[in-house]
Chains A and B, each alone.
Chain A
Amino acid sequence: MVDLSVDLGFLKLKNPVMAASGTFGYGLEFQPLYNLNLLGGLVVKGLYFKPREGNPPPRLAESPCGLINSIGLQGIGVEAFCREILPWLADLTTAVIANVCGEEEGEYARVAEYLSRHPGLAALELNISCPNVREGGKCPAQDPEATYRTVKRVRQASSLPLITKLSPNVTDITAVALAAQEAGSQAVSLVNTFLALAIDLESRKPKLGNVLGGLSGPAIKPLAMRMVFEVARKVKIPVIGLGGIFNYQDALEFMVAGASAVQVGTANFVNPQACPEIIKGIEDWAESQGIKRLSEIVGSLKF
């Protein structure tokens, strides 16, 4: 038997595979397809304080091996989430993580504070990196100082463990990761989507109603993995890696690059069984390699 568990310090996961925010709804949506307790963790869709309308359609466009989305964080708001969904998620034995959003620092703090008052959450993931809600795809994670301030505000508002989700749309992602660490974030997750544009040539119009969107899926995997590698070598806190993970090999490569755990996003659409299949694949691989504790491979890249 391989020990698949992951100790992030502030949180123990039964295995390193989590479902990524925004690609797994509020968790309930996948319930008919498999036992959610198989997951290492699940991150629910981004939550603002109030319900949110989201962006005009079309909100999705395909590109080779990729998906560009401009959902704009349509959602039910934190109150409805805590009332209607969280009690149900709290019964799961998997780690449930809420993805915290805000228009400004104060809202992030209010959402975090509200969530902390309700049982059932293992951690908060601070989404300071969504490219779909501000003009031109701007977000706090593009600036180390804004990152520091936002993380600090949330840190003071909530006692739940904090994971800061980073944007790849920056020159030096390690500077932002260090700012998050400095402000008291217990982990970082990366990456969110890459700011992208898709055009319909016939009409010369953007394919997305919001003009720009965020690219995810296998197309971004090497870029995301490079960033995980860079950040893991700089920070002391655990790194959660994501971006184009579609199978167990992808997940293991991220771990070798330095990720203590991984998240699976777009793959959930293409193969709703992706997460449990990846977990099984990791276990079989470790067994075949004679690995006793999977965490041994984290950051084991030979170069």
Chain B
Amino acid sequence: MFQDKNARIIKTESWGNYFLLRLAAAEIAQKSKPGQFLMIRVSPGLNPLLRRPLSIHDCSGSEVEIFFQVTGKGTELLSQKKPGDHLDVLGPCGGGFSLLPEFKDKEIFCVGGGRGLAPLYFLARELQTAGARPVVFYGGQTLSDLPLKKRLDEAGWETNFSTDDGSFGFHGLVTQLAEKELMKRKPSFLFGCGPEAMMTRLAEICQQAVLPAEFSLESIMGCGLGACWGCSRKIKKNGEIKYLRICQDGPVFPAEEIIWSGD
């Protein structure tokens, strides 16, 4: 865990409401694993006050990337940053996705809805490096919700796209697309990240198909360090239901441990 008060923005990219920032933060980058996140101070002032949690979208050498959607004041301020600006970044926070040796040569589904794709890009890249066969599913409401399409097309693994309105790829929900493919292809594992309703449905599908899965959860966060217990959510650990910290005990949890908010 490091606090880099002066992480320099090297590159920015944007597509409508979606933004990608690349940061020079050597100590953080060297320790980062897929599924971990950063706590970013979006402004040096006191309003907004708290840091914003954002997944590590990619990481190489001394650089890390974040990919985010503007949903409020904090992400809005972050979207206005320019190359050469500096950010106060804390990370890597939390634990990552499980990268198991038995994934080698196996198909691993990575299913992301909207900005939920953020942590899955880094994950798919690491899976590929480890000799697994990542299959990415990327869904959004409409084509403009798939800004990472080009990047994924160039990634060298299979990506399947879906849009709710049929403007690109499979016409329907990404969960429907993943379910269809899952029945056919019998992957060894599934990783998911996205809106709660999407992950809830995906978890049901995995349970029916007896497919082990992990999901990355979100919660408002105070510290990101495990110190405030502000991010807690009910999780089933060893048969016992208790409030665990999303930031420290997660954000990634095995499907069977998660109690979905609709349940």
B142 CB within 8 Å of chain A = no
A22 near B: Cβ within 8 Å?
A: yes
- Chain B interface residue number, banded: 20 to 34
B49 touching A66, Cβ below 8 Å: yes
Q: Contact string, B221-247, partner A, CB cutoff 8 A, digits 1/0?
A: 111111111111100000000110000
Residues of B within 8 A of A59 (CB): 220, 229-232
| Interface membership of B3, Cβ < 8 A | yes
Say whether A71 contacts B227, CB under 8 Å. Answer: no
Q: Which stretch in A119-127, A180-188, A263-271 binds the other chain?
A: A263-271
Determine the residue in chain B with the shortest Cβ distance to A24. Answer: B227
Contact A32–B49 (Cβ < 8 Å): no
CB neighbours (8 Å) of A32 from chain B are 1
Given A30-B227, A54-B243: A69 in contact with B47 (beta carbons within 8 A): no
The answer to whether B49 touches A69 (Cβ under 8 A) is no
Contact residues in A for B227 (Cβ distance below 8 Å): 23-25, 29-30, 268-269
Say yes or no: A74-B49 contact (C-beta < 8 A), given A58-B220, A60-B220, A271-B88: no
B183 interfacial by beta-carbon distance below 8 Å: no
CA distance A114 to B139 in the complex (A): 55
B222 A74 Cβ-Cβ under 8 A: no
A54 touches B3 (CB 8 A): no
* A271 proximity list for chain B (CB < 8 A): 3, 41, 88
Are B90 and A272 in contact (CB-based, < 8 A)? yes
Interface SS of chain B:
loop
Question: Which of B1, B49, B229, B243 is the one whose CB lies under 8 Å from A270?
Answer: B49
A136 and B223 alpha carbons, distance in the complex (Å): 26
Q: From B48, which residue of chain A is reached at the shortest CB distance? A: A62
A62 vs B230: C-alpha distance when bound (angstroms): 12
Is B205 at the interface (CB under 8 A from chain A)?
Answer: no
- Known interface pairs A25-B225, A57-B219, A74-B243; A270-B51 also in contact (CB < 8 Å): yes
Q: Which of B48, B51, B228, B243 contacts A69 (CB 8 A)?
A: B228
Residues of B within 8 A of A66 (CB): 49
Specify which chain A residues have a CB less than 8 angstroms from the CB of B230 in the assembled complex: 59-60, 69, 71
Chain B residues whose C-beta falls within 8 Å of the C-beta of A60 in the assembled complex: 50, 220-222, 228, 230-231
- Say whether A67 faces chain B, with CB atoms less than 8 Å apart: yes
Describe A's contact surface by its main secondary structure.
Answer: loop
Closest CB of chain B to A24's CB: distance in Å?
6
Chain B residue numbers with a CB within 8 Å of A29 are 223, 225-227
Residues in B236-260 with C-beta less than 8 Å from chain A:
242-243
User: Which residues of A have CB within 8 Å of B100?
Assistant: none
How many angstroms between the C-alpha atoms of A62 and B228 in the bound complex?
14
Give the chain A neighbours of B233 by CB distance below 8 A. 57
Q: How many residues of A sit at the interface, in one of the four size bands?
A: 35 or more
Q: Is A206 an interface residue (CB 8 A)?
A: no
Give complex CA distance A187, B47 in Å: 33
Decide yes or no whether A1 CB sits under 8 A from chain B. no
Asked if residues A69 and B222 are in contact (CB atoms below 8 Å), the reply is yes
What 0/1 readout, one digit per residue, does chain A (247-274) give for beta carbons within 8 Å of chain B? 0000000000000000000101111110
Q: Is A269 in contact with B223, judged by CB distance below 8 angstroms? A: yes
Give the Cβ gap from B226 to chain A, nearest Cβ, in Å. Answer: 5
Q: Are B228 and A23 within 8 A (Cβ)?
A: yes
Expressed in whole angstroms, the Cα–Cα distance for A57 and B49 within the complex equals: 20
- Proximity string of chain B (18-50) to chain A, C-beta cutoff 8 Å, 1 when within and 0 when not: 000000000000000000000001000011111
- By the criterion CB–CB under 8 Å, are A57 and B232 in contact? yes
- Please determine whether A62 and B242 come into contact, CB atoms closer than 8 angstroms: no
Q: Which residues of B contact A273 (CB under 8 A)?
A: 3, 5
Please determine whether B1 and A62 come into contact, CB atoms closer than 8 angstroms. Answer: no
Q: Is A217 an interface residue (CB 8 A)?
A: yes
What is the minimal beta-carbon distance from B14 to any residue of chain A, in angstroms? 25
- Output the least CB separation between B245 and chain A (Å): 9
A48 surroundings in chain B (CB, below 8 A): none
B contact residues around A201 at 8 Å (CB): none
- Closest CB of chain B to A58's CB: distance in Å? 6
Contact residues of B with A, CB < 8 Å? 1-3, 5, 41, 46-51, 88, 90, 219-233, 242-243
Q: List 21 A-B contacts (CB under 8 A).
A: A23-B227, A30-B227, A33-B3, A33-B225, A45-B229, A54-B232, A57-B233, A57-B243, A58-B220, A59-B229, A59-B232, A60-B221, A61-B220, A62-B48, A65-B46, A67-B50, A71-B232, A74-B232, A269-B51, A272-B3, A272-B90
Given A29-B226, A59-B231, A74-B232, 13 extra CB contacts under 8 A: A23-B227, A25-B225, A64-B47, A66-B49, A69-B228, A71-B232, A217-B46, A246-B46, A269-B50, A270-B41, A270-B49, A271-B3, A272-B223
